[in-house]
Amino acid sequence: MDLPWTNEPIYLATLLKIVKGLPCTVYNKTYDNGETFRLDCRTQCTCQNGTYACASLCPQENISPQGLCRHPRLVEVPGQCCREWMCDNVNMERPPNCEALVTPWAECSSQCGLGLSRRMSNANEACKPNNETRLCQIRPCHSPPLVNAKYARHHHIRKGHECKATIKSTTPVRLKFGDCRSRKTFHPKRCGAACPSSGSGDSGIVCAPELSTTVKVEFLCRSPVEGHDRLDGAVPGDDLWEPVRRPFSATADDYVHSVYVDVEWIVKCTCRRSTD
């Protein structure tokens, strides 16, 4: 079929460029349309038809802790890219020869629902290693799998789509444990519930966080929570996320005790072999 345009080759070339999408050139390096890349370990970008948009992989760096945190500042943590907020306790002075010791966070203790993750750190005035704990949730226990188990064996899943990497909550939720609720609402991310087996009956493939960070969240509690027992109300398997069904009135609901708790914040998930 003949086209009515006189410059058919030019028109077709332009049309193909529009359909394919333009690449992006960033710092003398070219990326295809739709390609995801990193400017550095803290910044991830995606090429979109000649332009690119970026997002931080360290969102907690933009959330300055409030309340009881004195002189908040971002500090480098050995072995990880994202910096973390450090606060000065009252009259806290670390010995001048104290060498920083911070271990990586352990995996979440629960595959679904509320869990705990721990690490060792000597960021204290005595420069002694202490256990640090954060709340975590890879996925709610009621989270449905991407493919019904009955049909999973016969369902073809394209490579790279086995694990929905970052399933973001479409509605705002409050974080909760025990009788504590977060002051603010969030749109957290979770890992998918299903990954395909290797094809030989091996079911040891799990969908787990590949990249996560730690944010400090303010909780309002009905009972005072202080010291090392402040997470005693965290029941394994409970849902860390509570849908926002009505306005939250801290005073009317007797949530008057404030406490800041570390929470794992999932950035990206992947399918991998279980370490258990």
Q: pLDDT tens digits for 153-202? A: 444 444 444 455 568 888 899 999 988 899 889 989 999 877 765 454 55
Dihedrals phi, psi of 116, to nearest 5 degrees: -125, 150
Beta strand spans in the chain (E)? 24-26, 29-31, 36-40, 43-48, 51-56, 70-75, 84-88, 115-121, 130-136, 167-168, 173-177, 180-182, 189-190, 205-221, 241-243, 257-273
pLDDT of res. 147: 42
Q: Which residue has the tokens 């760096």?
A: 61
pLDDT digits (tens, 9 = 90+) for 117-131: 999 988 777 888 889
Q: Is the torsion defined by CA of 167, 171, 177, 178 positive or negative?
A: negative
Amino acid making up residue 65: P
Mean pLDDT of the chain: 77
Q: Is the torsion defined by CA of 240, 245, 248, 253 positive or negative?
A: negative
Domain boundaries of the chain, sorted by first residue: 8-56, 135-273
Q: In the CATH scheme, what architecture does the domain 135-273 have? A: Ribbon (2.10)
Torsion of CA 41, 262, 100, 81, to 10 degrees: 0
The distance in angstroms from the start CA to the end CA of the chain is 62
Percent of the chain with pLDDT over 70: 69
pLDDT of res. 206: 82
pLDDT of res. 231: 80
pLDDT of res. 15: 52
What residues are paired with 123 via a beta bridge? none
